[in-house]
Structure 1
Amino acid sequence: MDAPSRGERAAEAPKEPAGSGVRGWRGWGPVELVLFFANFSLALQRPLTTQYLWHRLSADVGYNGTSRGGGCNDTADPKQEEVQTLTSHWSLYIDLSSFFVGLFSATLLGPWSDQVGRRPLLVLASSGLVLQVIVYILVVSLELHVGYLVLGRVLCAFLGDYNALLGTGFASVADVSTSRSRTLRMAMLEACLGISGMLASIAGGHWIKAQGYINPFWLSLAMLIATTLYSAFVFRESVPHPKKAYLFTLHHYRLVYQLFAAPSPGKSRKHLALYLLALFLVLTIHYGTWDIAVLYELSWPLCWGSDLIGYGSAAQHLSYLVGLVQLWALQLFLKDSWVAEVSLTFNIAGLVVFSLAKTTALMFTGYGILSFSLVITPVIRAKLSKLVNKTEQGALFSSIACVSGISMLLATGIFNSLYPATLNFMKGFPFLLGAFVLLIPAILIGVLEIFDPRPEYQQTLH
């Protein structure tokens, strides 16, 4: 038989989609490392920023009852209450500043990544986080007004912020996982967040106590530069055929709209809406209670120093790792929805303990209970992911990023306003309120499971 000609060989070769613009280098590294590096940096920054605000505003007010080494007045001090209020309000301003910009960018960038691939968005979002830390370093080293922290948040939000990075990570996992393995894969990704956060929190607490604020910020910057370089050159692209697409176009927003409006086999708008509502409420309580936890620990009667705050933050992040083991064990005999219900029960119990905590031992008891509480988020994300097509994962997780942004806005506004307002009659009231609110997603998930016990919706989608 004659050898095929060059033209015949070209005709027989598999064709890439027209105009695909497929990149030659697809990488080999998993997305989990992107989130590990980025979350290490963010976990280092969050308590660091709150403590720096407390330190700077204490100096402005003339209050010196709490230092990096810990220890504060044995009774409530009017100046301490003023510092708590100012710190809480500045945390609110910083988070508010990035909300509307982040809402615009998240819905634009997610659908864009469905077409061009996950790598460009990972690079863009991690670059924004780099800019934010650079601004923070300038504020701390030059002792600029704390209002400049707002500028860092706005720059970061314009390029996608951490929510875009997180959403892209989960979309990448959805790209390469099966319907059966998706919940556990997402829990594994959250476990990476937990391990990195735990390590950063322990290291940061001792480091602040020994050397102050500036050096931990430098480490945070180094980790984010590593995140950006890893995303650009090592990350394994999960979109099979990335193609060129315009970024600034209304088409991306239409894709998000069609996600909820256009009918699709197996997709239920009711399920999408109700699971998003459940996720919104859970994230609002998580963000809100975590936001005021450092203030709660810094002030009387706990009077924690930076080392104990670091251990507390590490205990928060331990929840991700414990959740992975918990999910693997409970999935052996429970459906995902009932695993989520168990998780919510621990969450409610832990917040009730927080609301009553006046000693270090009781506070860490609350952290211990809450370590079993974070299975709920990977379960809901996986259920949402199974309701849409593979080509809609970026649009879905950009919607989840918007829900996360709205929940963060409301959490910051509600809890940072409620906390100073309730100091006089019950300091732990915001935690107790959070416990009651979590009853709503518990009811929603139970009702969805009982009255619509269909198998996974994906037999026609995957």
Structure 2
Amino acid sequence: MATFWGYLNVVTVEPVLFLFTMSLFMQYPATQLLVLQKVCLAKHNSTALCANLSEDTEEENEVQSVAAHWNLYMTVAINLPGALMSGIYGAISDRVSRRSIMALPSIGIILGSVSFLLQSHFIHAHVGYLLISALTIGVFGNVGASYIALMSYMCDITETSSRTKRLGIMESMTFIGGPIGMMSAGAILQHYGFEAVYLIIIALNSSIILYIMLRLEEPLKKQVIPEGISRNVSPNKITWVCRHVYDSLHRTLNVYFIKREGKKRRYLWLFQLLGILGIIAFAGELDLFILYTKHSPLSWSASTIGVYLSVRTLLKGAPLAVGLPVLFRYFSDRSVRFDLVLAMLGLVSIAASMILVAFSHTMFMMALVACIGCLSGYPGAIMGSIKSKLVQPTEFGALFACTVLIQTIFVAAGSLLFNNVYSATLYVWPGLSFIGIGAIYIVNLVIVIYLWFDMADVELNDKHRSVGDEEFNMKLLSETGDSEVEDVVL
């Protein structure tokens, strides 16, 4: 029993990511299908015709082309405000509170989902009203602010020797919550409609806020007030807030330009370049995959898309949740080069899977795509871990905020690029866009190979150890045997 509670005490932000990802993976396909439905109804005003759109190839292409452009507008409306606000929230989390920033995206999702629910009820209302929901979600930080808070919190409470493994396990929650969300969304959409999906999303994010309030402790032991700003709020509150926001943005934007020992600053730039290229490719895949599978000859239903994406995501999660702990247990060489080898495997996996998508016209070929791409979760967890070791612990929030700020801008760029490419090549070869996505991941692979050679002798900041971890380990040691501790403390 003591051992069970020991395992339970190790769990911190994982349920937050699990529930948030579940709601996100319910919202994203539901909203894309809502856009498609509204565009089709605006053009034809016939539910029966829209349900069988694949029977008329010309009409299908026209509706999908318009829907792709509206998906682009939605992406911009969510991500540009999200990028700006995340840049502010991240630096504030270094100074004030991780927990508060962690709860903000869920508040935004709740408000946005209420708006989506209304728009799905009034299905014939103009599709442009959906932008109100998107802007609401973006202002509260969306996935960017959540990423910053969760990554920073995990880096705060872990020692560097176990960070890659802990971050990998945490990120595996994405690949567990995601499939459940997608499968649920497909089934609920088919039987109960859009409104039921958004009601469940509201309930999930309400649970996240309660969990943060009741379960998580603030890892920051004290508040740090920016220089020149008194603890007592000045009479001119607007000036005080503006100075605080300016200071937060300055810290966020400066993190990649501070002089650092050795080649650490250059490595930060290279890892950021990897992130930019990766997010451009990911944005393209995210925007186009549902449209591609709805297009003939696949012509999948909403439930088929949900089941497929769920299985594919679960296959990505298993190597993170199970594979990383096993590898780190049995391989004593846990150097940065070992991590980079895992990143290479992941990039080969995802590049090959994206190229295969372009040639896939049957369920069997799409099943191969899911199997080949199963290691694609490795690069994200590994890059985040290595970057955190290139900066000081007091810079975690600013680091991940700057990462989100830059990459979120390029989400819009990726959507703009690939939605336009898809619309332009739809009549020639719908899969051509996925060849371009695969090519971007191959470029990332070349950069990682270069880093593998260049980082052979680099010394990372490996001395950070959380006081919370030490206290927990000592407590757990008194309840369990020595041999059990290594297994419990992941």
The normalised TM-score by structure 2 is 0.83
CA contact (8 A) 1:32 1:192 kept: yes
TM superposition shift of 1:92: 0.4
In structure 1, what is the Cα distance between the partners aligned to 2:464 and 2:259? 13
**1:403-443 deviation per Cα after TM superposition (whole angstroms, max 9, x unaligned):** 33123111211111111211122110111111111111111
Moved more, 243-252 or 318-327: 243-252
In structure 2, what is the Cα distance between the partners aligned to 1:433 and 1:106? 29
In structure 2, what is the Cα distance between the partners aligned to 1:139 and 1:267? 51
Task: Tell me which residue corresponds to 1:156.
Answer: 137
**1:80-132 deviation per Cα after TM superposition (whole angstroms, max 9, x unaligned):** 01111111111001111233322221111101000112011112222112111
Task: Tell me which residue corresponds to 2:198.
Answer: 217
Task: Tell me which residue corresponds to 1:298.
Answer: 294
Moved more, 433-442 or 226-235: 226-235
Task: Tell me which residue corresponds to 2:35.
Answer: 53
Task: Tell me which residue corresponds to 2:128.
Answer: 147
1:169 aligns with 2:150: yes
- What is the one-letter code of the residue matched to 2:27? Q
Task: Tell me which residue corresponds to 1:348.
Answer: 351
CA contact (8 A) 1:113 1:121 kept: yes
Aligned runs of 1:83-232 on 2, under 5 Å? 83-143=63-123, 144-232=125-213
CA contact (8 A) 1:355 1:428 kept: yes
- What is the one-letter code of the residue matched to 1:222? A
In structure 1, what is the Cα distance between the partners aligned to 2:370 and 2:11? 33
Task: Tell me which residue corresponds to 2:219.
Answer: 238
CA RMSD of aligned residues (A): 2.1
In structure 1, what is the Cα distance between the partners aligned to 2:256 and 2:167? 23
CA contact (8 A) 2:80 2:412 kept: no
Indicate the SS of the match to 1:147. Answer: helix
How many residues were matched structurally?
A: 432
1:382 to 381, 385, 389: 385
CA contact (8 A) 1:385 1:393 kept: yes
- What is the one-letter code of the residue matched to 1:335? F
Over 3 Å counting, the alpha-carbon distance change for 1:258 and 1:404 in structure 2 is closer
Q: Which runs of 5+ in 1 are unaligned?
A: 1-26
Moved more, 258-267 or 102-111: 258-267
Task: Tell me which residue corresponds to 1:358.
Answer: 361
Task: Tell me which residue corresponds to 2:314.
Answer: 318
2:425 to 422, 427, 430: 422
Moved more, 450-459 or 269-278: 450-459
1:407 aligns with 2:410: yes
In structure 2, what is the Cα distance between the partners aligned to 1:414 and 1:281? 12
TM superposition shift of 1:72: 5.5
TM superposition shift of 1:364: 2.0
In structure 2, what is the Cα distance between the partners aligned to 1:401 and 1:388? 16
- Percent identity reads 23
CA contact (8 A) 2:80 2:409 kept: no
In structure 1, what is the Cα distance between the partners aligned to 2:161 and 2:324? 14
In structure 2, what is the Cα distance between the partners aligned to 1:224 and 1:244? 30
1:252 aligns with 2:248: yes
**1:294-345 deviation per Cα after TM superposition (whole angstroms, max 9, x unaligned):** 1111121101111111112213422441231333445545700011001111
Moved more, 104-113 or 326-335: 326-335
Task: Tell me which residue corresponds to 1:9.
Answer: none
TM superposition shift of 1:167: 1.6
TM superposition shift of 1:290: 2.1
In structure 2, what is the Cα distance between the partners aligned to 1:266 and 1:121? 33
In structure 2, what is the Cα distance between the partners aligned to 1:118 and 1:338? 32
Over 3 Å counting, the alpha-carbon distance change for 1:92 and 1:442 in structure 2 is same
In structure 1, what is the Cα distance between the partners aligned to 2:362 and 2:36? 21
1:308 to 304, 307, 324: 304
CA contact (8 A) 1:72 1:300 kept: no
